[in-house]
Chain A
Amino acid sequence: MNYIYELLNILIPFSFISYAFMKNALLAIIISAPIFALLGTMIVNKKMAFFSDAMGHSALCGIAVGVLFGFTNHSLSMIIFAILFSVLLNFVKDRTSYGADTIISVFTSIALALGLTLLSFGGSFNKYNSYLVGDILSITSHEITYLFICLILVILLWIFAYNKINAESINSSLSKSKGINGKLYDYIFSAFISVVIMLSIRWIGVLLINSLVILPAAAARNISTNTRQYHIWTVLFSMVMGISGLITSYYIHVPTGPMIVLLLGGTFFITFIIHSFAQS
């Protein structure tokens, strides 16, 4: 880690990088931006925006369960909770005929309420307020390592399973006829989303996490006509706006998360206008 810090000191000739928390924040963004971008492309295509939002809200329950069972490592309890939660949600969704949005709402409401109830037992919810808005400057090198492992896993998923997830999302009967076990890939993909969101919730916050997943992909979709362009633009928007947001927030003294989201929001409207002109 020290070696990476040294490298950052040499590579970036600005004063903000002299603070350790800025180094960590920058690393976190460089690592997490491609994760959110890649997952986001498929979440948008599969119309799962609501699912990833729900996972963010359910994170509180993950923390609460961890606290309840005396886990000292919140990340670990949240990961276990995330996987169980997403598998259970998919399981119930596949066995009912009402829309996915209803099932997701049911699960989220319960998880959120349970999380709030458990965490404020004895009136101490204030301690967990930071989970709502997050604080990127508080990210630890430990968490950065987790994120890095996530990045590797997501890239591996994308290399080995992207086609199958894509095939399943476009038509599940067709993928079945081609011998693809689409349901399995759906479960794996949902579990990935849940884990990444849980790991990021502490420094991005429940309220903003979904923006970072959805906005880069949504902005890229406006100007992409094939899968390759879509991926390049999404990763680019996610990286550039993430880093710009961090630096801007440092200089103008505003919270980093909202700053990044605002920049991404602006990007969406710019690409939207480009798209509208291209159409006419």
Chain B
Amino acid sequence: MKMENVDREPCGMHCIKISDINVRFGKNVILENVDIHIHSGSLTALIGPNGAGKSTLLKSILGEVNHTGKVSFRNLKENKEEKMTIGYVPQSLNIERDIPVTVYDLFASYISNYPVWFKKSKKLYQKIREQLKIFSIEDCIDKQVGKLSGGELQRVLLSIAIIPMPNLLILDEPVSGIDHNGVRDFYKIVDQLKHKNDIAILLVSHDLNLVKKYADKVILLDHKVICEGTSETVYNNPRFHEIFD
């Protein structure tokens, strides 16, 4: 399989530098000296064993977890630092099946101040419908969030994450709840997003075959960066076999 170079033109005009991230919970070292560069227009996959600190790294980038080190966003063309916007697709939501929250309610809560308990705003409703249409799930708008299928929910979350289109899109892939076809479709959507927009994508993944197919760069993390590069480089690393075989 042909792997694309992450530094290719015309993408990669922006670079996200995650430098020297350290996270400790008490005496436990969760992340140690993590250095990662992500270029816009590329998909970087983060793989590693359970408890390797993948989700913690995402949360550090989001600014939710206390950490040392720096996350910066650089415009390479003009060589200056810019403010970065982040879109985030969580692994799961803190909801039950019967929660009286529809996709409209969920969506509006994150993107609008117009109270969702009040009569629906036609304008907002239309805006959300249009956004859901990108991933052909506009019919879900009045469905209860807890009753969506895993694949539908993931697309809803993705459409929330890309309004407005962020510089960095962080995806925390669910471990379960979506069948293989659903996961494959999701990668296809993400791939299209990458090609149509100049955004950097950082994906925590559990599907090594799909990572091989779609990721421009793979990072193997186990508290620190074990190795990085194309999927071929990483998959041939001895530590990769220790962890995944």
Binding site for B on A (CB under 8 A): 41, 45, 158-160, 162-164, 166-167, 169-178, 180, 220-221, 224-231
Contact = CB atoms under 8 A, between A and B. Distances in A.
23 contacts: A158-B117, A159-B115, A160-B113, A163-B112, A163-B115, A164-B109, A164-B113, A171-B93, A173-B64, A173-B90, A174-B90, A176-B63, A177-B86, A177-B170, A220-B100, A221-B98, A224-B100, A226-B105, A227-B102, A229-B100, A230-B100, A230-B117, A231-B117
A169 B115 CA distance: 15
**Nearest 4 pairs of A and B residues by beta carbon:** A177-B88, A224-B100, A230-B100, A167-B109
Contacts of B88: 173-174, 176-177
A160 to B, nearest CB: 7
Contacts of B142: 226
Contact of B116 (A166, A169, A178, A220): A166
B161 interface: yes
Given A170-B106, A225-B144, A162 B117 contact: yes
B95 interface: yes
Given A174-B88, A174-B90, A177-B161, A228 B112 contact: no
A226 B108 contact: no
A166 B86 contact: no
Interface string B50-91: 000000001100111000000000000000000000111010
Interface of B: 58-59, 62-64, 86-88, 90, 93-95, 98-102, 104-106, 108-120, 142, 144, 157, 160-161, 170
* Interface residues of chain A: helix, strand, loop or mixed (majority): helix
Contact of A174 (B101, B117, B160): B160
A49 to B, nearest CB: 14
A228 B99 CA distance: 12
B144 A228 contact: no
Task: From A169, A173, A176, A224, name the one whose CB has the most chain B CB atoms within 10 angstroms.
Answer: A173
Contacts of A158: 115, 117
A172 B64 CA distance: 9
A224 B114 CA distance: 20
Contact of A170 (B64, B87, B94, B118): B94
Contacts, number: 93
B102 A225 contact: yes
Contacts of B160: 174
A146 to B, nearest CB: 25
Contacts of A169: 94
Given A163-B110, A173-B58, A176-B88, 11 more contacts: A45-B99, A158-B115, A160-B113, A163-B116, A172-B64, A174-B160, A220-B100, A225-B100, A226-B100, A226-B102, A228-B119
B101 A177 contact: no
A176 B94 contact: no
A115 B9 CA distance: 69
A227 B53 CA distance: 36
Contacts of A159: 115
Given A167-B109, A170-B109, A173-B59, A227 B64 contact: no
A176 B170 CA distance: 13
Given A173-B88, A177-B86, A227 B117 contact: yes
Contact of A221 (B100, B102, B105): B100
A224 B63 CA distance: 36
Contacts of A177: 62, 86-88, 161, 170
B62 A173 contact: yes
